[in-house]
Amino acid sequence: MTRQYFGTDGIRGTVGEEPLTAEFALRLASAAARVLSPNGGTVAIGKDTRVSGYMFESALEAGFVAAGMDVLLLGPLPTPGIAYLTRSLGADLGVVISASHNPFQDNGIKFFDRQGRKLSDEIERAIEAKLTEPAITRPSELLGRARRIDNSRTQYQWFALSTVPPEMRLDGMKIAIDGSNGAGYKVAPRVLSELGADVVPIGCSPNGKNINLDCGSTHPELLQATVKGVGADVGIALDGDGDRLVMVDHNGALIDGDQLLYVLATVRNQQGTLSGPVVGTLMSNLGLEKSLTERGIKFLRADVGDRYVLEMLHEHDGILGGETSGHLLCLDKTTTGDGLVSALQVLTVLRETGKTLAELAAGMPRYPQTLVNVRVKTRPDLDAAPIRDAVRAVEDQLGDRGRVVLRASGTEPVIRVMVEGDDESEVGQVADRIADAVRSAA
């Protein structure tokens, strides 16, 4: 059975449109409680900075309390912080209210199990099956209670600091940090300051409506300009819920998730602390695969989505993986993608090697890659003749000089067309050709 509501990263959509309504959130909480904790228990709920988070927080709280679960309200906190606190507070379930990198008009709901890991497809299907039933209300003596955890940010802050060596300091380093006006706006600058860095914060003034607006990991231009303008040693950009990371070197050049994964993997391999293969996705740059393979590091590709990278890492006993977009997984440090923790691992490498980020990333050549996002009202059949023929023609033209990846986004009404090859001009032209075929079929 396919999932009707859950995508690759929870349930996501436009606020006020099905399924992102308060009534649905209440039923979802009731369904999740019956599947994951039918005899009561505790659920931790956190959110990002979207104004709609208040509405969904209240609706979820009501649904869980009515189903007999105690609720811990964490407030605005990065998604990985909620995963960590779900474990450390002994909750049976964690809930994140966030649409990640989407604009503020969108929101979403996703879950963690008691280990701080994302739910399997099977469990999500079981929750969806319960959504056809009315929400339940236990007898008064079995209702849950709710309370706020006022020091949630502080607890996550100390956890993030615990992932670097005790002696690691950032004194004398100027770091620009872009919090995307999202969930990491307060804790990320505080952690960097605690380590002694001279911090230049941008995108750290959320108002409920400016999350991801021309800032953060999906819009790094402001950070690139800031790094050069203030003479920073490095720049860090998170996304709205704090689980993505891209960085900027001292020259203002963008360093994406593939390059950061290369930096972490090669240094850990040299130190003898890398175990298992490195896992990327179908969208990972060919340069990453070739560079790691040349250094004797096994590289595997999972389906797009950090949950699938995580599954493959567990399957092959790996500890390091990620996506081009900046979802990086350091499983020897935490259980899920964490932009701040990943940034701290990169900063540790800079300190230990004495090299700049530009020098470390230079070892991975990036093959020209064009990604075209085709927004559609209805999802076309990607195997239909017009699209299939366009893809085959491009593949025949590129031969072994490149590759094509065509996939539907799991979080947006978008078809992603990615073409990679050795000629940047050619790659752009053939990507547009496939995108036109998708538009005509949509």
Active site residues: 100
Is the link from the previous residue into 19 a cis peptide, with omega within 30 of 0?
Answer: yes
Give 209: exposed, middle or buried? Use CB within 10 Å, 0-12, 13-18, 19+. middle
- 373: which strand partners? 416
Beta-carbon count within 10 A of 379 CB:
12
Helix (H) or strand (E) holding 390: helix 385-398
In the numeric block, which tokens belong to residue 173? 């380093």
* List of E strands, 6-55: 11-14, 41-47
Alpha-helical segments (H) within 41-195:
53-66, 79-88, 121-130, 152-161, 187-194
φ, ψ dihedrals at 140, nearest 5°: -55, -35
Tell me the residue type at 241. D
Largest CA distance in the chain: 70
Q: Angle, nearest 10°, between helix axes 121-130 and 22-36?
A: 120
Question: What does the alpha-carbon distance between residue 63 and residue 219 come to, in Å, rounded to a whole number?
Answer: 36
Of 64, 59, 24, nearest in space to 41 by CA:
64
Question: What does the alpha-carbon distance between residue 175 and residue 80 come to, in Å, rounded to a whole number?
Answer: 22
> Which of 144-175 are b and which e, b meaning 16 or more Cβ less than 10 Å from the residue's Cβ?
bebeebeebbebbbebbbebbeeeeebeebbb
